[in-house]
Amino acid sequence: MGTLHLSDQVRQALQEGRAVVALESTVISHGLPYPTNLETARRMEEIIRQHGGIPATIAVLDGKIRVGLTEAELEHLATSKAVRKTSRRDLPVVVAQYGDGATTVAATATVAAWAGIDVFSTGGIGGVHRDPPYDISNDLPTLASTPVAVVCAGAKAILDLRATVEWLETAGVPVIGYDTDEFPAFYTRESGLPVDVCVQTALDAASIIRAGREMGLPGATLIVVPVPAADEMPAKKLQMAINSALAEASARGIEGSASTPFLLRWVAKETGGASLKANVSLLENNAAVAAQIAVALREISAAAPAKPA
Ligand code: PSU
Ligand code: MN
């Protein structure tokens, strides 16, 4: 991939077979307010290091696809208003126009796979939106075709979670519950929807990821981790905020790529910071789990090098 620019640290870590964990950047530019966004971006990197991993935050800067960012670059993403939300289809546009782009789950997973990074940590994936015209995030088809393990807290209840889980099943994406037998709803731990399997340890998750890779399956493995119980949001308060956000978006005619950031901001405003606390908590928790899984994957691979599929 000629247009891929790895930081020295990430390049070296990959060469040495260390446990690299990719991180997205839309959550920094569009998902959280300043300065929480910058603090959280730094914390996630720190947590990955504490668990023996090497963080690789992914973004497009001056038209270059970058894997592994400096402190100043994280700050730029956290403060600049000129950073474009960049999903997979936006990558060629931002690169050709020498722009700055913050990568979504779809774009980050795509770049991580190009770079040879096996594990990617995020907050929540995009999914099927509620009500016509059933806007479907590119995160879903990209997960169907991109071989990377994605650690997330499920998907937000602003979406149609049942349709989202169904889409993952149709697309052949295994959904692994990390110490849970329910698909988590991001701000809350439960949705009433099933996962394919519940695992208790990073090693068990890594074994499933490894088995899928050995078979040469083309898609992602989704590892879903509920928000830590202490930071879970009260369900009723959240439901009211979501209803208000959906009504407001519809009244203002907000659609397309503006939809998710608008809904997230409105829920944060309506819940007076409680949603922010949950969001930061699950991002940090996912980073820790992802690093543990990445380390376990390296250990399995070192013990038994992969056979070609
Ligand atoms: N869900 C969140 N926080 C986020 C996003 C989703 O809880 O910041 C971001 C992610 O980058 C995700 C993107 O990939 O929104 C999905 O946007 P869309 O629905 O436009 O595909
Ligand atoms: Mn969309």
Among candidates 45, 186, 41, 152, which has minimal Cα distance to 102?
Answer: 41
Expressed in angstroms and rounded, the spacing between residue 16 Cα and the centre of ligand 1 is 32
* CA 302–ligand 1 middle distance (angstroms): 34
pLDDT in tens, 33-70: 999 999 999 999 999 999 999 999 999 999 999 999 99
Task: Map tokens 């126009």 to a residue.
Answer: 97
CA distance 234 to 297: 35
pTM higher than the cut 0.85: yes
What's the rounded mean pLDDT across residues 12-19? 97
Residues 201-244 have pLDDT tens digits of 999 999 999 999 999 999 999 999 999 999 999 888 899 999 99
What span, in angstroms and rounded, lies between the C-alpha atoms of 45 and 247?
36
Lowest mean pLDDT among 33-42, 169-178, 253-262: 253-262
Q: In whole numbers, what is the pLDDT of the chain averaged over residues?
A: 95
Is the pLDDT reported for residue 4 higher than 90?
yes
What local confidence, expressed as pLDDT, does residue 300 receive?
94
Structural tokens at position 168: 């993952």
- Among 23, 24, 27, the mutation site with the greatest number of ligand 1 atoms within 8 A of its Cβ is 27
Q: Quick check: is 24 catalytic?
A: yes
List residues near ligand 1 (CB under 6 A). Answer: 24, 26-27, 31, 87, 104-106, 123-124, 126, 137-139, 156, 186, 257, 260, 264
User: How high is the pLDDT of residue 277?
Assistant: 92
Phi, psi of 68 (to 5 degrees): 100, 110
CB–CB of 259/125 below 8 Å?
no
Q: Does position 155 have pLDDT exceeding 60, yes or no?
A: yes
Do strands 64-67 and 175-178 pair parallel, antiparallel, or not at all (unpaired)?
unpaired
Nearest to 267, CA basis, from 238, 247, 292, 236: 238
- Ligand minimally distant from the alpha carbon of residue 143: 1
DSSP codes of every residue in 121-137? E-S----BBSSTT--B-
- What pLDDT was estimated at residue 307? 62
Rg (CA), the chain: 18
Confidence of residue 245 (pLDDT cuts 50, 70, 90): very high
Share of the chain above pLDDT 70, in %: 98
Q: How confident is the model at residue 306 (pLDDT cuts 50, 70, 90)?
A: low
Give the model's pLDDT for residue 118.
97
Q: Which of 24, 45, 75, 270 is catalytic?
A: 24
Mean pLDDT of 279-289: 97
CA of 257 to the centre of ligand 2 (A): 5
Q: Whose CA is nearest to atom 2 of ligand 1?
A: 124
The contacts of residue 225 (CB under 8 Å, 6+ apart) are: 151, 152, 153, 178, 179, 180, 184, 282, 285, 286, 289
Integer Cα distance of 83 and 180 in angstroms: 36
C-alpha 188, offset from chain centre:
17
How many CA within 13 A on the CB side of residue 77?
Answer: 34
Strand partners, 23: 57, 121
What single-letter amino acid sits at 103?
Answer: T
Say what the pLDDT of residue 81 is: 94
Task: Tell me which of 50-54, 81-85, 154-158, 293-297 is least confident.
Answer: 154-158
- CA distances (Å), origin 113, targets 10, 20, 218, 270, 277: 14, 12, 11, 37, 31
What pLDDT sits at residue 2?
47
Give, for ligand 1, the residue of 29, 32, 105, 150 to mutate: max count of ligand atoms closer than 8 Å to Cβ. 105
- Give the residue whose CA is nearest to atom 18 of ligand 1: 137
